[in-house]
Amino acid sequence: MSYLFTSESVSEGHPDKVADQISDALIDNFLAWDADSKVACETLVTTGQVVLAGEVKSSTYLDVQKIAREVIRKIGYTKSEYMFEANSCGILSAIHEQSADINQGVDRKEKQEQGAGDQGMMFGYATVETSNYMPLALDLAHKILIELAALRRENKDITYLRPDAKSQVTIEYSDDHLPVRIDAIVVSTQHDDFGAEDVMQKKIQDDIINILIPRVKSQLKPELQGLFTGDIKYHINPTGKFVIGGPHGDTGLTGRKIIVDTYGGKGAHGGGAFSGKDPSKVDRSAAYATRHIAKNLVAAGVCDEILVQVSYAIGVKYPMGIYVNTYGSSKTGLSDGEIAQKVSEIFDMTPYGIETRLKLRNPIYAETAAYGHMGREPQTVTKSFEGAGGEKKTVEVELFTWEKLDYTDKVKAAFNIA
């Protein structure tokens, strides 16, 4: 019997994502001036207020207020009627020095001996369902909101959009786990107050269905465009008007959108958030590493779908273990346990090995903090930073290195895949 599966996404203007983006902007600025910085930074945003808290060990000093305001401005909170605005919001910093007890378990005289920054388990997932090896429902939910943000910034075809938004996509699958059609699409978008509630809702619904969805559909391959049938159930701003939104409508916190950040409910999640953490925190770095493993194994033809788990003890160099589940899709004749053994031989999963392989001690994190950390396009960009004293720095960095298919040849050789 066919079944339904749903994933959601949230926009860069969603309060939790505002918090994530501020935390990751701080990470980038610390790493830009001191690549050895150890940072765990949490952000809270609410009506007219930003609170920064966390632990830092770094040789640099930052103007955290300026950095936070730049992030808020870039997102689009630039009008006083939003009740949360870049220039006027209050910013309170309660950032202090990292615990020496924790630091002694991570830093070593030899960097190669670095221990894990915390205990826990991390998961990576990949599937042949899409060209970027991501679950289809989440990929579509992200695309809807990326395009909605583009329409907001263009301010031409749709002129009333505000930064806060959410999407949700429900897909019907056949018994053999193939997508058959899109069953439902939910879009809730913050908007200006431009008339009677029923008039606004009708206008927004028409624009989402007739302007936004066709733009999303046009980006897809023909086989995926065919999933958009006339039977889709649309729920557009289903509560009615959505004028009050963003941090004024709902308090935002770093790390509350971990499923949006990863696989939309497919596979598994170890529970650790990413944003605001430097790469010594394996919650972040090992989640990227397991995604890198999963994607390269699927791309190499080892299996059609895979979940990879790794676990650590705080201060310990080597992982507790590596687990693999191919959901019966393995093409190698090997058991999942045998695949896991080969994975441990191909990939160095020590914290230092991960940081080095994926170039994680670079300021590459601001771009991860909205629209998912996984499934993104690897690229090289130039980023500019300004220090607290006005000094300027430009660095060239590789973004989303964990999405590179740079280990497929090694994987094929290890598994004797032609």
Tell me: is residue 85 an annotated ligand-binding position. Answer: no
Tell me: is residue 14 an annotated ligand-binding position. Answer: yes
Tell me: is residue 98 an annotated ligand-binding position. Answer: yes
3-state DSSP of the chain: CCEEEEEEEECCCCHHHHHHHHHHHHHHHHHHHCCCCEEEEEEEEECCEEEEEEEEECCCCCCHHHHHHHHHHHHCCCCHHHCCCCCCCEEEEEEEECCHHHHHHHCCCCHHHCCECCCEEEEEEEECCCCCCCCHHHHHHHHHHHHHHHHHHHCCCCCCEEEEEEEEEEEEECCCCCEEEEEEEEEEEEECCCCCHHHHHHHHHHHHHHHHHHHHHCCCCHHHHCCCCCCCEEEECCCCCCCCCHHHHCCEECCCCHHHHCCCCCCCCCCCCCCCECCCCHHHHHHHHHHHHHHHHHHHCCECEEEEEEEECECCCCCCEEEEECCCCECCCCCHHHHHHHHHHHCCCCHHHHHHHCCCCCCCCHHHCCCCCCCCCCEEEEEEEECCCCCEEEEEEEECHHHCCCCHHHHHHHCCCC
Tell me: is residue 221 an annotated ligand-binding position. Answer: no
Tell me: is residue 250 an annotated ligand-binding position. Answer: yes
Tell me: is residue 42 an annotated ligand-binding position. Answer: yes
Tell me: is residue 162 an annotated ligand-binding position. Answer: no
Nearest to 83 by CA among 163, 9, 140: 163
Tell me: is residue 225 an annotated ligand-binding position. Answer: no
Tell me: is residue 107 an annotated ligand-binding position. Answer: no
Tell me: is residue 233 an annotated ligand-binding position. Answer: no
Does the CA dihedral 149-153-155-157 come out positive or negative? Answer: negative
- Give CA–CA dist 314/335, Å, rounded: 30
Output the six-digit token pair for 251.
């308090």
CA–CA distance from 280 to each of 49, 96, 108, 116 (Å)? Answer: 30, 18, 12, 7
Tell me: is residue 361 an annotated ligand-binding position. Answer: no
Amino acid, single-letter form, for residue 272: G
137 Cβ contact list (under 8 Å, min separation 6)? 5, 6, 7, 169, 170, 171, 264
Give the residue numbers of the binding site for K(+): 42
Give the residue numbers of the binding site for L-methionine: 55, 98, 250, 281
Give the residue numbers of the binding site for Mg(2+): 16
Give the residue numbers of the binding site: 14, 16, 42, 55, 98, 164-166, 241-242, 250, 256-257, 273, 277, 281
Give the residue numbers of the binding site for ATP: 14, 164-166, 241-242, 250, 256-257, 273, 277
